[in-house]
Each structure stands twice: as structure tokens, then as C-alpha cells.
Chain A
Amino acid sequence: MSQMFKWNTDEFSWVDFTIDVLRILIVLAIVVGSWNTLSEGRISFAQWVNLFIAGLSQGSIYALIALGYTLVYGILLMINFAHGEVFMAGAFSTVFLAEALNRTGFLNQQPVLAILLMILFAGLVSMTVAILLERIAYRPLRGSPRLVPLITAIGASFFLQYTFRGLYGSGFKAYPQVKILQGSLQVGSINIPTVQIFVFVSALVLMFGLYWLVERSRIGKAMRAVSENKEVARLMGIDIDWVILFTFGVGGFLAGSAGVINGMFRPQGVNFFMGFIPGIKAFTAAVLGGIGNIPGAMLGGLFLGVIEAIGPNLVLAGLGIPGANQLKDVIAFTMLVLVLIFRPQGILGERLSEKKA
């Protein structure tokens, strides 16, 4: 009742009104676009499912990177803008190992072992980069205003990109293709590439591993304690420097593994710049899910992946917009803004502002 009342008084707010109009327009566009597409029926159900699954796989990669953002954010309230580069460091370095394993034939003789070795190697490389980053660039800045570490992170992002370009060159490299991942699984009329199942499953395993680590293990509890209150955590005897370093390390390890998993999934395009766009996407995913929240990062990543895969064909093509796939980022970011309008704290985030007041 009071809701209705509000509209009739002088409380009418242009901001609310505009936002409402915007919401309605966006929702309308989505509905109309989807309706048009689906009623035309150009794309079959099986194709939609395939797109969905491809989106999930892509989303798993985003999610794994997003976890690193979220971990660091959770503990330091800092956007580690260079996290995409941590991903790149692992992926780029391991491409040489993958080539070597392929040359010796080991990759196809013992694919499981080989992939495991690659994941470990990439994880360790990325972890080292992440730890160095924290130690050299971020630790001296603890407690300074939020913009300062953000700028440092941007600087670190450039620095890492061009360092790796200097080390490994500017050309593109590609992961070799692993035979056992080349096939596909036929489920009814739907054909699911094995590699996508691999990506999704290994991402899930890593995510649950992380979830267990944070929720159940001693160090995980310490991480949560540090993220809530660093000073009190120290009073518990927790070495917060070490916990923060550990957090960066874990985030780095996940990013590195994401690099290899990504290499199995999208083997091409390995170069020094490869971390930038996934980095921004993963950051978006983390915010979408509610930054600082681990399940949120997973959800955000998967959501973003699926949106990107399905959105252009479903909505934009339906609205008759040419070059729909070009605009998939527009869809992704519009969805982000839409989600944030409805839930300013992200899908699974907590309301910070209310607590504060």
C-alpha cells in the first residue's frame, strides 16, 4: 500500500523513473528479440543447447580467472587489474612445455599425466608471478586509498604484458591438440565436444577444491578472518602477510590452470596480450556475481559465458541488428548494468551500504 502511496506524493524521482524506463526498454528488447528469433526458428534446439554448453565452457574459464579477482578483492578490497596478466603468464609459458610434450609424443601417450604436468607448471608460474606482484607492487601500498593500488595494478598489467612480450616475442603461439580431447559425445541429437566437457569438469573440480580450501581448511578460515578484520586476525596469531601472499598464490595458481585449460579449449591465440580481455571479462564476472564472493564468481563467470554465447543470436539477431556477434560485449555489459540496477551488490553479494548506514 505504501508503495502505491509513494507515487502520488512529491517523492516522484526522475532517477527512479528513468531507471524504470531503461529497465523496461531493455527487458522489452530482450523479449522482442528472443521472440522474433525463436519464432523464426532458424536455429534448432540442438544448436541452442550446443551454444549453451560452449558458453558454459567459456564461462568456466572466466570463472576460474574471476576467482582470483574475488579472492584478492575479498581479502584486500582491491581490484587486481593485473590478474589477467597472471593468467597470461601461465598460459604463455606453458605453451612451450606443451609443444615439447607434443614433440616427444608424451602428450598423446599419457594425456592425463601430461595435462596434469602442464597445469601444475602453469599454476606454479602464474603463482610465482602473482606472489612477486603482491610482494613487490602491492604490499607497500596496504592501507593507502583505493585508487592507489588500482593504478599500481594497471601499471603492473602493462609491465607484465610487455615483459612477456620481451621474453617470448610478439607472435602468436598455439597449444598442440590433444587427441583424446578431439572427439565428441553424442547425446540424442546433441553433439557435445569432449573438450568442452573436460573444461567444464576440470573447472568445477578446481572451484570445489577452492571452496573446500576456503570453507574448511585452517588456512581458509584464516583467509576469511583476515578478509574481515586484519588487525583482529593478527591478534589471533595469524601472520596476515603470509595469508595474503597465500591468497595471491592460490589465485595465481587458479589463473595458471585456467591458462592451460583454456589452451586445451581454445588452443590458438597465445600471446602476450591474451590476458587482457579475459581479465576484463573475468572482472566483470566477479562483479556480476558479487565481488568478494566465491560462489558468486563462479556463477558470474558461467552466466557471462552463456550470455555471450547465446545473447547475440537470441536477442540482437532477433532485433534485426546486423553484425550481431560484434555486439556481444554490448550485451554482456548491458546485462551487467541491468543486474547491478536490480541488485547493486551483484547476484550473490551482500548489501554493504545498508550495513554501513
Chain B
Amino acid sequence: MDISQSGTRQTIITLGLLSGALILFTGAVGMIAAFHEREVVNDFITLGQLVLLITPVIFGYTAANRLGMTGEAPMVVLGGGVIIGLLTTLPTTIMLLFNSDEFRFLLDWSLRLAPFVVATAIAWRMRRQRAETLTVVGSWLLVTALLGIVTFSLALIFEVKGDLRSVLVNINRDWVDVVTFDNRRELLQGILIFSLASVLAGFLGSLCYYLPRTPRRALFYGLSVTLLVGAFGETVRLVLQENLERDTLNQLFRRDTLRQNAALGLLIVSTVVGYLWAAFGDRARHGFQNLGGQERRTTQMIGTALFVALLLMLPWLIGRTLSDVAVTIGLFVLMGLGLNIAIGLAGLLDLGYVTNYAVGAYILAVMTSIGPLGLMKGSFSFWMVIPIALLAAMFAGFIFAVPVLRMRGDYLAIATLGFGEIIGKLAISDWLKPLIGGAQGVQAIPKPIFLGTELKNPEQLYYIVLVACLVTLFVSIRLNNSRTGRQWMAIREDEDVATAMGIDTARAKLLAFTLSAATGGVAGAIFAAKVGSVFPNSFTVFISINVLSLIIVGGIASNPGIVVGAVVLIGLPELLREFSDFRFLLYGALLIMMMINRPQGLIPTKIVSHEIRAGVKAKAAAGD
């Protein structure tokens, strides 16, 4: 039970400081204060407080897990949780003190002393590793000088500016209020409360380690469900609103916030369900696997049928707003399936996919608009223009592919990126303004009319997108298993050898670009009809980036992966609208974490997952 043992100590300190850094970071970028605005459970806890408290719980549990594995005594493990709780508050506390008027002198002093302290620490460590005296002195001077420059500059900035807040805009009163639990005036008292709460949270986290597996999992399910429902209250309410009476809904939710009773009920129910699942879930899964061939097939068929039914009924289950999100997701699935032909199958890194989207959208816009820019003055319907948009996008794909056929890898990437930019700039230009409206875009695009019904709601547009996706999926599967698909794969694997096999690579690549462009055009056309107006600023490089990212995140060359990727990267940010200020921050963090922990994507194809995992391991071993 020696907590000073170096490995143990290091685990605890690292995790504690990591947790503290996370809390300070979320505070400094304004997340904590912004999340504080959103209550998870009415009059009980806000999202900001939740972040503050759940972080030490998670880190406390992680540490306990690691320490427990190495066979540390319970006292050490629980003590670790406490220390982590305390360390979690440390960076934030320091920042609070720096920010307060009474303790600002601490900031000045730290900035003055920091270079010497850090340099001395480094030098001391070098000395212990028996470095030469000259090297040690040299390093000390260098570190002092470099750090000195930074801290001197910082000191100057804060001196002139007067306080932290004029630089770090989110180290403000709101933040102080949240982290001190509304004790801004009594800062020390606030810090004490914060520390105690955090210590308790860290302790509870490490205590969880000692719960038996089943109740622990049950509790985990229960808490996650409740907190997620609370955090995504708006979305959940939107779904429930479709299916529940308003009075009932009002008993569960106060606007977007779970009421206390409802939260408690949900917690109990989900914990019980979680308990049952944790206790008997394995057996059920096992039972399914042990089913006879016939029974199993039947079960699977029922499953498929239910899935199809779900796809068909989706808009009516989730309501208008989420259908709108579903349509957007669908459009990106459509583009993902298209771009996958170029990237996943033929290995052509196309960063200018937005080109096709723009072409499709503008074609539909000028062909069907009833405004001044409409070419046909409304005589062409949506359905007539869809094939035209498709062909136009294919043509554009073809034209843009020709000059880049000989380019490879990153050169291809930057050239296609350039085409995307060119299209964007042309769309906005005064030059083409008489045709496509320039900055003012094209308005008055009528909605599609199907059997006399105007399809103006997302629930209705959903079916158009669904059909387009299914057709594309079918085509893409057919192509994948064909001669053409093999040609593409060969080019992806090794272009030189593919040529040596007698493949006309230029032609195959042209085909890949052209076919890949087709769905982009259709997606663009549907998009234009959906929004009802087309502006050039909708066609930025972010579209290309999004489509590329969703393919990679889903799992390259994997069709189900594309759907999942689109849901995660396009759908989640839409649902995260309530955290809109931090949408891209979280999106970026998600991308990074995904790629580090699951580079093969969420639903990888078998080959790719094997290759990437093996590749990472082997090359990590080789240090390449």
C-alpha cells in the first residue's frame, strides 16, 4: 500500500493532471459556461456541472482499473481516486487564483519564477542522468532564455491588459460562477466546494471499480442513458413529440430539460433494463447463435424486414426536424457512395468533390427556377432535370478528370482541391452572374411534385433521397463485383502494374471520376430543390472534406460504413446544434480520436481492417 511507488504514483499523477487539463481546457474555451446554460435534469444539474463532475469520475475509474490490474491494495486505489479528484481541480484553481484580484500577484510571481524553476528541474534531471556539466549549464541557460521570453511576454501582456479575461475571453465571470458553484464572491470557499465535490467524484469513480461486474454495467447503462437523454433533450423531445401527447410530454420534460421525477424514473428503468441485459444479454446472444439454420434464417429475415420497415417509416417516427436531418444525412450518403468509387475503389484521392454537387445544384436551379434566372420558366419539372443534372455532373467530372489523369497521390489531391475552389469562385463571380446569379444565387426553385402532391416537407423528400441512395448502392455493388471494379482495384493497388496487365488506366480512371461525379450531381439537385434556393457559399471545400471524412471514418470502401460515417459526422453535428459554438471543436476532436483509436473506420471491410491493423503494428514495430 505504498502510494509513493513510482509506477503507481505516475499513473495517478498523469491521469489526475490530464483530467485537470481537460477541465481547464473546456473552461478556457467556454464550454463549461456554455454548457451550464443547458440543464440536464431540471433544477438539479446542468451540463456544465456534469462535465466538471463526471471527468474525475471517469479518470478515477480509469486509474482504479489500471491500479487494480497491477494488484494494488484498495486503500491505494481509493486514495488514487481522491488524489485524482484533487488534481482535477488543481489547474482550474490556479487559473481562478490568477484571475482574481486578490491573488493576481501569484500570476506575476509564477511568470517570473517559472523559467528558473523549470530550467533547474530539467538541469537537475540531466545531472542525475550523468550529463556533462557543460551540457547541463548550457541547457539550463537555453531553457531559461526560451521560457523567459515566453513568460516575460505573457507578463507584459497581462500587465498592460490588466487581467486575464481581456485575452482569454472565456476566463470570465460565468466560468467562475460555474466552477465555484456560484461562490464568485467567496472565492476560497468556492474553490473548497469545487475541490470537495471533485474529490468525492474521483473517489466514487474509483469506488465503482469494486462494484461487481453486472451491477456496474447496469449502473453504467442507466446513468449513460439518463444523462444522454438529458443532454440531448432537444432531440429526444422532438422524437417523443411525434409519439406522445403534449401533456404527457410536459410531465417528462420541462421544455428541453428532463424533469427530476422523469430523470429518476428513467434512471431506474434503464438501470433495471441494463441489469437484465448485463445479466442475461450474453445468454440471449448465445441463444441466437445456437439457433438452427432454418430458425436463424427466419430470425434474420424478420430482422431485415423490420429494418426495411423502419427505413420506410422513419420520417413518421422521428418527425419533421429529424427527417430534415435524415435528408441531409442521405444526401451525404449519396455523395459518399459516389466519392467512394473514386477513393475507395480506384484509390483516386479527390478533394474537389464539391464540384459535382455544385454542378447538380446549379443545373437544377437554373432549369427549374421560376425566378428571373430560370431558363425554362418553370416548364421543366424536378423529375425531368434530375437526369440532366446527373449527366451534367458526369460531364463535369469527365472534363475535370482529363487534366489530372497523369497525376498521382498528393498532386492529384491538390489539383482536385483546386478544381473545387475554381468552381466555388466561378459560382460567386460577377462574370457568370447573368447566368447563375453570382453572389445572389438562384431563388424560387419549386419543390418536386409527385402525383400532384408538392413534396415540400423533409418527410417526403426523404423518400427521394432514400430511392437515390438505394439505386446508387445497387449500382456500386454491381460495379464492385465486375470487371470494371477489378480494374479500379488493380489501379488502386498498383497503377503501374495495372497498366502492365493491359488495363487502359487513363480510361478506367476517367470512368471512375465520371461515375463518381454522377451521384454528386443528383445530390446537388435534390439539395437545391430541398432548400429552394442556391447560393454559392453552400459549395465550399468543407463539403469535399466532409464527404471524404465520412468515408474514412465509416471505413473506406465499405458501404454500410458510409452510412454510419454520414450519421456520425453529418447527423451528430446537426443534433449537437445545441452546442453549436463547439460543434467544430468536438467534430475535430472526434476525427482525431477516431483515427487514433479506430483507423480502419467504424465498419471496415474485412481486408482493410486487417491491413490497417497489421500495418500499424508492423510499422510501429519497425518505426516507420
Contacts and interface: CB of A to CB of B under 8 A. Distances in A.
Contacts of B619: 142-144
Interface stretch (B226-234, B244-252, B427-435, B452-460): B427-435
Interface string B416-438: 01110110011011110100000
A285 to B, nearest CB: 10
A163 B402 CA distance: 40
A198 B349 CA distance: 39
A231 B622 contact: yes
Name, among B167, B170, B428, B581, the residue most crowded by chain A CB atoms within 10 Å (CB to CB). Answer: B167
A337 B429 contact: no
B612 A145 contact: yes
A265 interface: no
A161 B587 CA distance: 12
Interface stretch (A3-11, A178-186, A207-215, A318-326): A318-326
Given A104-B156, A322-B431, A144 B615 contact: yes
Nearest to B434: A322
A151 B549 contact: yes
A125 B417 CA distance: 29
A64 interface: no
Contact of A154 (B28, B153, B430, B591): B591
A324 to B, nearest CB: 8
Name, among B406, B411, B553, the residue most crowded by chain A CB atoms within 10 Å (CB to CB). Answer: B411
Name, among A117, A337, A345, the residue most crowded by chain B CB atoms within 10 Å (CB to CB). Answer: A337
A57 interface: no
Contact of A143 (B405, B496, B587, B620): B620
A344 B406 contact: yes
B414 interface: yes
B582 interface: yes
B18 to A, nearest CB: 11
Contacts of B618: 143
Contact of B595 (A103, A149, A333, A346): A149
A43 interface: no
Contact of B582 (A101, A104, A166): A166
Interface in B504-550: 506, 510, 541, 545, 548-549
Interface string A313-345: 000000001110011011011101100110011
A142 B624 contact: yes
Nearest to B595: A152
Interface in A145-179: 145-149, 151-152, 154-163, 165-169
Interface string B65-102: 00000000000000000000000000000000000000
A240 interface: yes
Contacts of A345: 411
A97 B407 contact: no
* Chain A, interface residues (CB within 8 Å), range: 35 or more
A148 B595 contact: yes
B408 A147 contact: no
Interface string A87-116: 000000000110111011000000000000
Contact of B548 (A117, A124, A151, A329): A151
Interface stretch (B157-165, B276-284, B442-450): B157-165
B548 to A, nearest CB: 7
B264 interface: no
A141 B596 contact: yes
Nearest to A335: B418
B410 interface: yes
Interface stretch (A14-22, A27-35, A44-52, A187-195): A14-22
A344 B402 contact: no
A283 interface: yes
B584 A161 contact: yes
A41 interface: no
Contacts of A97: 153, 156-157
B589 A121 contact: no
Interface in B568-624: 581-582, 584-585, 587-592, 594-596, 599, 611-612, 615-616, 618-620, 622-624
Name, among A166, A329, A330, the residue most crowded by chain B CB atoms within 10 Å (CB to CB). Answer: A166
A137 B169 contact: no
Nearest to B168: A167
A330 B426 contact: yes
A133 to B, nearest CB: 9
A151 B588 CA distance: 9
A13 to B, nearest CB: 7
B402 A18 contact: yes
B29 interface: yes
Nearest to A169: B169
Given A144-B616, A166-B29, A323 B418 contact: no
Contacts of A79: 410, 413
A37 interface: no
Given A79-B410, A166-B28, A167-B29, A326 B428 contact: yes
B31 interface: yes
B422 A155 contact: no
Contact of A162 (B496, B582, B611): B582
Contact of B160 (A104, A121, A156, A283): A104
Contacts of A341: 403, 406
B168 A13 contact: no
A22 B146 contact: no
A237 interface: no
Interface of B: 25, 28-31, 146, 149-150, 153, 156-157, 159-161, 167-170, 343, 349, 402-411, 413-415, 417-419, 421-422, 425-426, 428-431, 433, 496, 506, 510, 541, 545, 548-549, 552-553, 556, 581-582, 584-585, 587-592, 594-596, 599, 611-612, 615-616, 618-620, 622-624
Going nearest first, the 3 A-B pairs with the smallest beta carbon separation are A166-B29, A155-B591, A143-B619
12 contacts: A19-B402, A121-B153, A141-B595, A143-B616, A145-B612, A146-B409, A154-B591, A155-B592, A166-B30, A231-B624, A334-B418, A344-B407
Interface of A: 13, 15, 18-19, 22, 73, 79, 96-97, 99-101, 103-104, 117, 120-121, 124-125, 136-137, 140-149, 151-152, 154-163, 165-169, 230-231, 234, 240, 280, 283-284, 287, 291, 321-323, 326-327, 329-330, 332-334, 336-337, 340-341, 344-346, 352-353, 356-357
